[in-house]
Amino acid sequence: MTLNSRPSCIGDVTLPGSKSIANRALLLAAISPRPVILHNLLRSDDTARMLEALAALGVKVIEEDTTTLQVFGCGGSWESIPERLSLGNAGTAMRPLIAVLSATLTEHSIILDGDQRMRERPVKHLVDSLQQQQANIHYREQPGYPPLSIGPGLQAGDFAIDGSVSSQFISALLMALPLLKRDSTLNLTGDIVSRPYIDLTLAMLAEFGISIEPLSASKFTIPGNQQLQPPQDYYVEGDASGASYWMAAAAITGGPITIHGVGEDSIQGDVAFAEVIKAMGATVEFQQNAIKVMSDGPLKGIDFDGNQIPDAAMTLAPLALFAKGRTIIRNVANWRVKETDRLRALATELRKTGAKVEEGEDFLVIEPPAQWQHAIVDTYDDHRIAMCMALAAFSPVGVTINDPQCCAKTYPQFFTEFARLCNC
C-alpha cells in the first residue's frame, strides 16, 4: 500500500475495543459462574485465537452482533479438555492461559502452541514462577518457549517473578492465583515494565469481583478459593495504544482529530501518550470518553523513558521524524520480545526515510531526515510496525507499506480510517 503525503489529517475517529482488555475480559467471563455480555469487543486475530481456545474448552459464546458477545462461563471447571490449543501469535491469549489452566485443570494435560514467532517469544519467567509451586508444566521442544504441556498440580504459596520482561506474566498470575484453594503472595522483582498494564488487570479483576490486596508496589496478598462475581454487562474500552497513531497524526499535521473510545476515565496506561505529544508541542483536550488533539507549531524532539507504555512509545519513533532536533526513546528492551524485534525493526525502517538512527540494547536515538527518501517499509508481520510507519505518509515523499493486512491483529480497519481522515 502506497500512502502519498497530505497536508492534514482531520476529523473524528472511533477506536476499536482494546485487545488487552478484550482478551482479559473473555477469559474472566469464561471462568465466571454466570453469563456476561461483553460490549465493544475487538474482533481481530488475537481475540479470534482466544475465542477458538475457549470454544475448545467447552465455553459457550453467543454472538449478539459483531462486537457484542454473551459468554456463558464455566465457573472454573472446563467442560472439555482438548489435546492441543493453537494460539497463533496472540501473547494476550498464551500467557494468561498458561497460568489459568495451571490453576484450574483437575485431570488430563493440554498442549499450548503457537505460530513460529510465538515459539520464539519467551515464557520462561512465568513458567519458572509457576513451577516453584508444583505446576505440572513441561516444554515440548525448546526450553523456555512454547509449545508446552500443562497438567494439574499447581499449589498456592509464595510466588515470585521477575517483572522486567513482560507485564503479561504478572497479569497472568494475578488472574490465576485467586482460583487456587488457599491464599498466596506474589512478589515482583527487578525493574517492572509496563506497570500500567498491571494496574489495568487489577482494575478489571476488581470489576469481576476478585479481591487482591497490594502490600506494596511489588508485593500482593491474594486470597484463594475466590469465585468471580462478574457484572452482567462489561464494556470494553477503545484501544489506547491505537489512539496514539491518531494523536501523532494530529500533532504532525495540525489536526484537529477527536478520538472516541478513551478519555479522562480510561483505565489504560497508554493514554499517557497524550503527555508525550504535549511535551513535543501539541495541544490535548481530554473529555470523559474522547481525546481531541491539535497542533499549531513545530514539534520538538524529546528524551523519553518508554518503560511504562512500551506499545504507545513505539509511535514516538516515527513522530520523531517530524520533530526539530534529536529524540531519544529509552528503557524499551522488551520491544525485542514482542511480535518481532521491534527495536531492530524500527531502526531499520526509520533509516529508509533518510533519518539517522542509533540502535542500542534498550534505546533508539533518532535524528530527522535532512533529505526525505520514499521508504518501502517491511512490517515483519507486526501490526504496530505497520501502523507506526504509516505516519511517514506525511513526509514530502510519502511511504509504501508492505503487508498492511497484518493490522488485523488489533486494528483491522486502520488503513481504511487513515485514508478517510487524511483523504488519501
Which residues are catalytic, by number?
Answer: 311
Q: Is 296 annotated as a binding residue?
A: no
Cα distance between residue 244 and residue 311, in whole Å: 9
In the structure grid, which three cell numbers stand for residue 234, read together?
462489561
Quote the CA–CA distance of 22 and 47 in Å, as a whole number: 7
CA atoms within 13 A on the CB side of 40: 18
The amino acid sitting at 112 is: L
Q: Is 24 annotated as contributing to ligand binding? A: yes
Q: Is 181 annotated as a binding residue?
A: no
Task: Report the phi/psi class of residue 362: left, alpha or beta, with left for phi > 0 and alpha for psi in -120 to 50.
Answer: alpha
Other beta carbons within 10 angstroms of residue 410's beta carbon come to 26
Is 102 annotated to bind a ligand? Reply is no
Task: Give the C-alpha separation, 356 to 370, whole Å.
Answer: 9
Q: Which cell is 236 given?
A: 470494553
Q: Tell me whether residue 60 is annotated as binding.
A: no
Is 338 within any annotated ligand binding site?
A: yes
Please state, in angstroms and rounded to a whole number, the distance separating the CA atoms of residues 96 and 102.
10
Q: Is 124 annotated as a binding residue?
A: no
To which H or E segment does residue 201 belong?
A: helix 195-207
- Asked whether residue 194 is marked as a ligand-binding residue, the answer is yes
Query: Could you identify the residue written with the cell 474522547?
Result: 290
C-alpha cell of residue 341: 524485534
Confirm whether residue 311 is marked as ligand binding. yes
At 315, is the secondary structure helix, strand, or coil?
coil
Could you tell me the three cell numbers for 366?
533518532
Is 182 flagged in the annotation as binding?
no
Residue 91 among known ligand-binding residues: yes
Question: Which residues, other chains included, contact 388 with Cβ-Cβ below 8 Å and sequence gap of 6+?
Answer: 245, 314, 315, 317, 318, 346
Which residue matches cell numbers 497513531?
Answer: 245
Binding residues: 19-20, 24, 91, 121, 166-168, 194, 311, 334, 338, 342, 384, 409
Binding residues for 3-phosphoshikimate: 19-20, 24, 166-168, 194, 311, 334, 338
Binding residues for phosphoenolpyruvate: 19, 91, 121, 168, 342, 384, 409
